[in-house]
Amino acid sequence: MAISLGTASTVHIAVDGDTPTYALLGKVTSGELTITTDIAEGTNNDSGGFKEFLYADTDYALSVTVKYDAADAQQTALFTACATRSDADATYLTVRVRPSVVSSAEQWAFRALCTSFKINMSHGEVNTASFEFRGTVTPLSGTNVTPVLTVQ
Tens of pLDDT, residue by residue over 18-60, are 566 778 888 888 888 888 888 999 888 888 888 998 888 888 8
Q: How remote is the C-alpha of 22 from its chain's centroid?
A: 13
Is the model more confident about 128 or about 4? 128
What 3-state class would DSSP assign to 99? coil
Give the alpha-carbon dihedral of 97, 5, 30, 63, to 10 degrees: 30
pLDDT score of 17: 57
Q: How confident is the model at residue 87 (pLDDT cuts 50, 70, 90)?
A: low
Separation of alpha carbons 20 and 9, rounded Å:
20
The pLDDT of residue 12 is above 70: yes
Q: What is the phi/psi pair of residue 8, to 5°?
A: -85, -5
pLDDT at 147: 40
Burial label, 23 (beta-carbon count in 10 A; 0-12, 13-18, 19+): middle
State the pLDDT confidence band at 128, using cuts at 50, 70 and 90: very high
What are the φ and ψ backbone dihedral angles of 7, each rounded to 5 degrees? -65, -15
Q: What is the mean pLDDT of the chain?
A: 76
